[in-house]
Amino acid sequence: MRDRTMANIRDIAKAAGVSVSTVSKALNGYSDVKKKTRELVLNVAKELDYLPNVMARGLITKKSNTIGIFFGDQQNSGFDYPFFSDLIRSIKDTAGAAGYDILIFANQKRSTSSYKTICYEKGVDGVILILTGDQRADENIRELHESLPTVYIDSVSHKFNNVNFVESDNLTAAAEAVEHLIQLGHTKILKLAGDDVAKASYDRVEGYKKALQKHGLEVNNDLIVYGEFSKEKAYQLTKRAFSKHNGITAVFSSSDMMAFGAIEALRDLGLRVPEDIAVVGFDDLDQSRLFDPPLTTVHQQRYKMGETAAKILLQLIDNENGITQNARIPASLIIRESCGMKRRN
């Protein structure tokens, strides 16, 4: 892409009458350059419209000032696009303020499936992982953790230890949501879980159990079903659950998308939300507020999550032997209308 017309460091050296090394030092702000020399070099550089070649520099310094992002783009995953959109914005803001750009891995033609290889190939300084589905449990990720600063956002497989991640405080938030239902008088609550590999998914189930136990209610594993964060799957599972079990009065879904699927299923079953069945989601997507009925759900601080992940990554990059860091971002229940105001007895 470079025009023949572009000046390089040698052109500057020639024009300024100094050596290439001196130019390099002046440009990089080294202190062992006479002030007058530095100024001369800087002026000439400006005049020649000089631009450093990041490839040449990176070849030596092994630094690219770029952070990589892998993101799984399965539709209807826990990380649907509205979610991703906030994350990328916050990562862009945070990394950008620190002088970094963002590389989104997209190339589908690569011969390798090694995350580490791919990162090395592009020379990123660190990487943020936003994975979905089976990607999360891919053994190939392990060597990435070990060789490059890596931070997960909410998509860690529970089989990896000692990895850096930021997540919502899923357990606490899920328990809060279920307690809300219990306080409204519900005792038989269908749990529409995500999958059984993501820690986030797992924690939301644990929160559900914890709230039931706290109130002396039985945990019935038949009422915990796994919808893979998919609206369609949630639709089917809800239909099946309501035909198999009597007396369910509420649904706690591990994502808003699944909650939408569940509500559709309930309607097709002739059940009204919230009059007959209460539904709570998880995520607080933009559309959930506008949904009919407005969805009661757990708000995840998406911007905050991305920002925190980027900050941790930046620290890790600056400090190679940094310790493993996990951040749990508070998530809180937003009460709207999908649970009605049903009171105990």
The smaller minimum CB distance to a second copy, of residues 104 and 341, is found at 104
184: left (phi over 0), alpha (psi -120 to 50) or beta: alpha
Residue ranges binding DNA (CB under 7 A): 2, 8-10, 17-22, 24-25, 27-28, 31-37, 50-53, 56-57, 59-61
Residue placing its CB nearer to DNA in the complex, 50 or 291: 50
Q: Which of 20, 55, 196, 326 binds a second copy (CB under 8 A)?
A: 55
97 binds a second copy (CB under 8 A): yes
CA distance 222 to 138: 29
Per CB under 8 A, 196 contacts a second copy:
no
CB of 141 to DNA, least distance (A): 23
With CB under 5 to 8 Å by kind, the binding choice for 169 among DNA, a second copy, none is: none
Backbone dihedral region for residue 168 (phi beyond 0: left; psi -120 to 50: alpha; all else: beta): beta
Decide whether 29 or 216 has the Cβ nearer to DNA: 29
SS3 168: strand
103 lines the binding site for a second copy (CB under 8 A): yes
Task: For 190-237, give the secondary structure using H, E and C.
Answer: EEEECCCCEHHHHHHHHHHHHHHHHCCCCCCHHHEEECCCCHHHHHHH
Taking the alpha carbons of 263, 155, 136, 206 in that order, is the dihedral positive or negative? negative
Contacts of 28 (CB under 8 A, 6+ apart): none
Smallest gap from residue 21 Cβ to DNA (A): 3
Eight-class DSSP state of 162: S
Applying CB under 8 A, the residues found at the interface with a second copy are 1-3, 6, 49, 51-56, 58-59, 62-66, 73, 81-82, 84-86, 88-89, 91-93, 95-109, 112, 117, 119-125, 147-148, 286-287, 290-292
